[in-house]
């Protein structure tokens, strides 16, 4: 088994707010992330595909195809967007790093047809990331 990873970056804004909580509870729990005007991040996404290299091409998955999938499905959908309002898959969810990673998994898994999606790692900042693995909780 070989694991092939591609990395992309996108910028997006979001806010943390749970409508079931009071304004005071939201401020207490989410702090500055509850700013009603939102705040932004420069996200880094690493997507890992696992499989056996094709005997003819030597590739688990054509990197051009993976790049096209990521540009179409993730960058095109999330780059320079307000995630709470402009990404339908995140409606009704608090767009935490964890929830965004799960949504990305659900978007990408059916699109990877050579090998299989093994891991999604989403960095919200240099020191905060969330990961989903194949057969992991809520990811596969």
Active-site position among 14, 17, 97, 124: 124
- Asked whether residue 55 is assigned to any structural domain, the reply reads yes
Per-residue pLDDT reduced to its tens digit, 67-120: 999 999 999 999 999 999 999 999 999 999 999 999 999 999 999 999 999 999
- Is 11 contained in some domain? yes
124 is catalytic: yes
Q: What percent of the chain has a predicted confidence (pLDDT) above 90? A: 95
pLDDT at residue 139, as a whole number? 63
Within a domain: 62: yes
Nearest to 6 by CA among 65, 84, 72: 65
Q: Cα dihedral sign for 125, 90, 78, 140? A: positive
Asked, for residue 98, whether it belongs to a domain, the answer is yes
pLDDT digits (tens, 9 = 90+) for 4-63: 999 999 999 999 999 999 999 999 999 999 999 999 999 999 999 999 999 999 999 999
Determine the pLDDT at residue 136. Answer: 59
Report the domain count for the chain: 1
The residue annotated as part of the active site, out of 9, 25, 39, 80, is 80
Q: How high is the pLDDT of residue 140?
A: 53
- Residue 79 belongs to some domain of the structure: yes
**Of the candidates 100, 101, 87, the residue with the CA atom closest to the CA atom of residue 48:** 101
Q: Annotated catalytic, 14?
A: no
- Of 33, 65, 71, 109, the catalytic one is 33
| Residue 46 appears among annotated catalytic residues | no
* CATH code for position 51: 3.30.479.10
Looking at the domain assignment, is residue 140 inside a domain?
no
- Which domain range does residue 69 map to? 2-133
């Amino acid at each position: 088994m070989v694991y092939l990873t591609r990395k992309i970056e996108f910028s997006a804004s979001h806010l943390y707010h749970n409508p079931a909580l009071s304004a005071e509870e939201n401020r207490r729990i989410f702090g500055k992330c509850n700013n009603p005007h939102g705040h932004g991040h420069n996200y880094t996404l690493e997507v890992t595909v696992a499989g056996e290299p094709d005997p003819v091409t030597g590739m688990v998955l054509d990197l051009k195809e993976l790049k096209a999938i990521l540009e179409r499905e993730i960058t095109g959908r999330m780059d320079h967007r307000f995630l709470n309002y402009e990404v339908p898959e995140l409606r009704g969810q608090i767009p935490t790093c964890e929830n965004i990673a799960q949504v990305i998994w659900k978007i990408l898994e059916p699109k990877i047809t050579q090998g299989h999606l093994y891991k999604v790692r989403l960095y919200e900042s240099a020191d905060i990331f969330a990961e989903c693995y194949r057969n992991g909780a809520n990811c596969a």
